[in-house]
Amino acid sequence: MLRKLLLVSIIGSCVVPSAWGAPSTKNLSVARGFHLEIVSADVRGAREIALGDRGTIFLGSMGPGKVYAVSSVGNPGKPVQVRTVASALETPSGVAFHDGDLYIAEPERLLVLRDIEDHLDDPPKPEVITDHLPFSDGDHFWKFIAFGPDGRLYVTIGAPCNVCDVGRDFGKIISLKPDGTDRQDVAYGIRNSVGLAWRKTGKDLWFTDNGRDMMGDDVPSDELNTLTRPQQSFGYPYCHQGDVPDPHYGTDHSCGEFTPPVLKLGAHVAALGLRFYEGPAASRSLNGALLIAEHGSWNRSVPSGYQVVTVKFDSTDHPQQPEPLIWGFRRNGRTFGRPADVQPMPDGSILVSDDFSGSLYRLTYASAVQK
């Protein structure tokens, strides 16, 4: 019951009041040369995005217990179709596609829908891969999942609190074989990561992490981290943003004991899903950049986030400060959307999920639209 009460409090902000009307792009701004459209406004609570081999877009959800399949996106000759391929699940926010199968993450279970693109109209019953994921009633119980270049399934395990000493039970990333066996701890000291990504040409894992609350408007920053060796620790709860000791837990630990972030993303922006943009390029300015969905702050007097940003790399492969790509999801005290995940498409366009308005957006480069 406690878990369900917590879930209600979290997803209550995911429903757009009817007085505001249907989702619209009119309040949103995009970087020069880009065009934004709404693919569907029928994906309530949309969170993580996964791509099937045949162009199907799969979406986990935060609130309604559904997993969606969206077809014919970017095909002007066919209408977009939204199907529900799984329902009555518990916070199935994480989805990942691998070898024809769709993997789904609940708080305590990993499920799989076999050969899903052959059965979009008659989806199979979810098969349980494991029902023993680390779980505790409290904060950050939802999961983000992704398959790495090693063929293993990576799963984020959030800390069940704003700040607490979780040891090595929570606040980490784990990995498993696709059949759920051989579970391994990958990284520690992570408060709440909701985004994992690898470059096509690299083996290092990149991930976002949300900084703790209740330390002021501007501290600590959310983090962009990279894992370069197994079982690195990134500091939580002892050290935040690489250089700020926690006022309670940091007295016995130096920040120098932990791996610092490669980039500070800003306090309370709630950086979630991230992906590398690796072409074909709709805009050459995005080649090799990271795309990051900033869900938006709640613990800040002046809200931050509520946008999609790009992080580009210099000639020495060092990440640069984030640049807005899509913004305006919050204006004049009103929230119109909260980006949750980003996903480049094979045609160069970029998908963005929004769990507040229940929408899926598609960003294209304007020159491509005009062809």
- Separation between Cα atoms, residue 307 and residue 217, nearest integer Å: 18
Q: Output the DSSP codes for 37-85.
A: EEEES--TTEEEEEE-TTS-EEEEESSSS-EEEEE-TT-TTS--EEEEE
Confidence of residue 22 (pLDDT cuts 50, 70, 90): low
Lowest-confidence region among 9-13, 181-185, 260-264, 346-350 = 9-13
Residue-level pLDDT at 63 = 87
- Residue 14, pLDDT > 50, answer no
Domain contains 124: yes
Residue-level pLDDT at 284 = 76
- Residue 128 sits at the vertex; the CA angle it makes with 127 and 131, to the nearest 5 degrees, is 170
Owning domain of residue 78: 26-369
Domain contains 20: no
Q: Read off the pLDDT of each residue in 326-346 and give the average, rounded to a whole number.
A: 96
Residue-level pLDDT at 366 = 78
- Separation between Cα atoms, residue 138 and residue 163, nearest integer Å: 11
Check: CB of residue 56 under 8 Å from CB of residue 101: no
Residue 207 tokens read as 């991930």
Q: Which of 167, 311, 305 is nearest to 226 (CA)?
A: 311
User: What 3-state DSSP class applies to 321?
Assistant: coil
Q: Which helix (H) or strand (E) holds 8?
A: helix 2-11
Confidence of residue 307 (pLDDT cuts 50, 70, 90): very high
pLDDT tens, 76-106?
889 999 999 999 999 999 999 999 999 999 9
- Separation between Cα atoms, residue 41 and residue 57, nearest integer Å: 14
- Residue 162, pLDDT > 90, answer yes
Domain contains 192: yes
The proportion of the chain whose per-residue pLDDT surpasses 70, expressed as a percent, equals 92
Confidence of residue 309 (pLDDT cuts 50, 70, 90): very high
Confidence of residue 15 (pLDDT cuts 50, 70, 90): very low
Non-local CB neighbours of 107 within 8 Å, separated by 6+ positions:
3, 90, 91, 133, 135, 141, 142, 143
Confidence of residue 244 (pLDDT cuts 50, 70, 90): very high
pTM more than 0.85: yes
Residue-level pLDDT at 24 = 85
- Check the CA dihedral 20-26-28-34 and report its sign: positive
Domain contains 349: yes
- Residue 367, pLDDT > 80, answer no
Residue-level pLDDT at 80 = 96
Structurally, how many domains does the chain consist of?
Answer: 1
The structure tokens 């204006």 sit at 331
User: What 3-state DSSP class applies to 367?
Assistant: helix
- What is the domain-level CATH number for residue 199? 2.120.10.30
Mean of per-residue pLDDT scores for the chain: 92
At residue 23, what is the residue type?
A: P
Q: Read off the pLDDT of each residue in 61-69 and give the average, rounded to a whole number.
A: 95
Domain contains 18: no
- Residue 2, pLDDT > 60, answer no
Residue-level pLDDT at 5 = 38
Residue-level pLDDT at 47 = 98
Q: Output the DSSP codes for 111-124.
A: EEETTGGG-SSSPP
Residue 17 tokens read as 């009041």
- Residue 235, pLDDT > 80, answer yes
Residue-level pLDDT at 230 = 92
Domain contains 13: no
Residue 364 tokens read as 């294209």
- Residue 6, pLDDT > 50, answer no
Q: Where are the beta strands (DSSP E) in 198-318?
A: 205-209, 221-227, 232-233, 239-240, 244-245, 263-267, 271-276, 290-294, 307-311
Residue-level pLDDT at 142 = 96
pLDDT tens, 204-234?
999 999 999 999 999 999 999 999 999 999 9
